[in-house]
Structure 1
Amino acid sequence: MDDDLVIHSKGLSKSYGPHVALDDLNLSVPRGATALLGPNGAGKSTFLKTILGLIQATSGEATVLGLDIKTQGEAIRARIGYMPEYDALNPEMDAIHQVRYSGELLGMNPVVALNRAHEALQFVGMGEQRYREIKSFSTGMKQATKLACAIIHDPELIIADEPSNGLDAKTREFMISTLNTMVNEGQRSVLMASHLMEDVERVCENIVLLHKGKLAAQGRIEDLKAIDREVEIHVWGGATRLEELLRDRGFKVRREGRVMRVANTQERTTTHILQAASEVGAQIRRMHEYEASLEDLFLAIMENMGYDVKSSDDLLSSPIEARRVDAPESLGGGAS
């Protein structure tokens, strides 16, 4: 096991009868912050349950923090903090005792758990609200309390499922800042599942993209974004003729009105663009290398896999049928 990896799998698969939820995953998740991405039905929930030792893999092997998922699930869970997307808090409890209780469930001494609960709530900005009942909390306050529950035992790896979902701008900013602090100053690792690409880019250096149980991509975001280099041009007059000529000459073109992005896959791409513009009488007012966003990368990967997707929101907001991926209903499944 490489000391720089927090999760490592080889041939990891999980099936429920004929349904394959995870298909031969070979993953290497480094220390630091990594995004776990994929549409509903991609296998993210099954993957998390499998690496936590909550369900048994059908085949393959994996380690988390150097521990075997098949035989050391309890030890893995003791070193991981989990912040779920769903509401997992008791509305009748106040925050301090909810977080303390989370610590006791992990085996902490009650006195130690209470002291750590105070520290954790202070860290997530909930120090002044710690004695309020959770049922009076806003969405942002509940998210912060869930994060405090996840970090009370000072875990090496925090799994945060949609941590900034549903938050207003101010609270969302605080959540992102807190996660960054844990990674950069606390030297902790974060596995973050989110559909908010902007937040993912601000927190994570690496991504793992799953689709239909298969590994679609993994690696550093910056390295993966370099795969899809483009030149952006702003065209006045003859834009349609220019687009058609570039396509005829083998260039991949994306266009929104007068703005075109041309795949920079050939030598002297800018020269070819200028020559084509001259031939059709188009005016190029601006030209520069386009820096792809994570959204662009996401769409490019999915297009390369043969899926026609308009945006990441379209892909991540799959029909309800696609959410039933953990197990067939006959086996009690149906969750995403």
Structure 2
Amino acid sequence: MGDLAGPPVISTAGLTKHYGTVHALTDLTVEVGAGVTGLVGANGAGKSTLIKILLGLLEPTSGRASVLGHDIEHDSHDIRRLVGYMPEHDCLPPDTSASDFVVHMARMSGLGASAARERAADVLRHVGLEEERYRPMGGYSTGMKQRAKLAQALVHDPRLVFLDEPTNGLDPAARTDMLRLVQRIGTDFGIAVLVTSHLLGELERVSDHVIVLDGGHLLRSSATGDFLRRTGRMLVEVVGTETERDRLGQALAQRGLTCRPRGTMVAIDPPASDVAVHDLVRDLAAELGLGLMRLEPDRGHLEDVFMEGAPRA
């Protein structure tokens, strides 16, 4: 888990970045610990701006920040030596093989020729490009290009990696594989990870801690488990189409329960009176001739943070 009890991996205080009248970040004060931290927000929320400031590629308008104990204003060179960075946009030379590219990036990070080749082969194997490493990257699929970008971010054995939208453009299967790799970096490799995404649900699966940005403001920062707490609502799913789902929802409403469709399921709010919801759902499903597939507690999701309109920090 992202352990904020130890020294923070990243710390910001009042960090602000304005482009004229555009406020990319406003008074951001947050700490990031070890493990995998998800940085979540819609496009334009300030995620990429924050990473570029932490890397010393952008100068903040005001505020302070440190990365691995190094001040961003005075120690940006040291920070870039200790950190790996996977940018969001495609930046790979198309006529170069992944092996040559990752070896080159390792040499740029200060590794000798032999060590660079060894590390490149090792990290390309870890990201699943071992058999494709000698092909020109211009012929790679989007998923392979993302893996090559991830490999160059890891090749110099950094203490922290910034992964900017690593699942961008991937199909569902490739997205799942990438998220599994991200989780391994934080657990098996022991490297701290700050990973960004505008897809809120996917970071619930791999992050120990989540930071939510909205329009450059900090909306919330807490352990992932705190987001996924029980809400008191119940979710019920029956066999069939939306028609069967709605039949059950209408019957529950007639019994005084507040409910609404949630995808293929019916979400039931906590009852005002002492109603045995499980028994009522079971009995109504039987009465209506519906097959009951599942009945389970609802848990919070990252989307709920935005829907609740939480106060900005």
The answer for the alignment partner of 1:81 in structure 2 is 84
The answer for the alignment partner of 1:17 in structure 2 is 20
Is the CA contact (8 Å cut-off) linking 2:201 and 2:303 kept in structure 1?
Answer: no
The answer for the alignment partner of 1:125 in structure 2 is 128
From 126, 136, 158, give the equivalent of 2:161: 158
Give the Å deviation of 1:44: 0.9
The answer for the alignment partner of 2:43 in structure 1 is 40
Stretches of structure 2 that go unaligned for 5 or more consecutive residues are: 238-244
The equivalences for 1:1-336 within 5 A come to: 3-168=6-171, 170-197=173-200, 199-226=202-229, 228-233=231-236, 239-240=249-250, 243=253, 253-256=259-262, 259-264=265-270, 268=274, 270=276, 288-292=295-299, 297-305=301-309
Is the CA contact (8 Å cut-off) linking 1:242 and 1:282 kept in structure 2?
Answer: no
Q: Specify whether residues 238 and 107 from structure 1 end up closer, same or farther in structure 2 by C-alpha distance, changes over 3 A only.
A: closer
Higher helix share: 1
Give the Å deviation of 1:135: 1.4
Show CA shifts across 1:172-203 (max 9, x none). Answer: 44333322222211111111112445542332
- What is the aligned-residue RMSD (CA, Å)? 3.4
SS in 2 for 1:126: coil
SS in 2 for 1:203: coil
The one-letter amino acid of 2:268's match is V
Is the CA contact (8 Å cut-off) linking 2:228 and 2:301 kept in structure 1?
Answer: yes
More divergent stretch after superposition (196-205 vs 132-141): 196-205
Stretches of structure 1 that go unaligned for 5 or more consecutive residues are: 307-336
Is the CA contact (8 Å cut-off) linking 1:228 and 1:300 kept in structure 2?
Answer: no
The answer for the alignment partner of 1:332 in structure 2 is none
Give the Å deviation of 1:288: 4.2
Q: Distance in 2 between matches of 1:122 and 1:91?
A: 20
Is the CA contact (8 Å cut-off) linking 1:236 and 1:282 kept in structure 2?
Answer: no
TM-score (norm 2): 0.80
Q: Which runs of 4+ in 1 moved over 6 A?
A: 281-287
Q: Specify whether residues 233 and 77 from structure 1 end up closer, same or farther in structure 2 by C-alpha distance, changes over 3 A only.
A: same
TM-score (norm 1): 0.75
Q: Distance in 2 between matches of 1:115 and 1:42?
A: 39
SS in 2 for 1:98: helix
Give the Å deviation of 1:241: 7.8
Is the CA contact (8 Å cut-off) linking 1:236 and 1:258 kept in structure 2?
Answer: no
Percent identity between matched residues is 34
Give the Å deviation of 1:112: 2.7
Q: Distance in 2 between matches of 1:285 and 1:173?
A: 31
Q: Specify whether residues 31 and 297 from structure 1 end up closer, same or farther in structure 2 by C-alpha distance, changes over 3 A only.
A: same
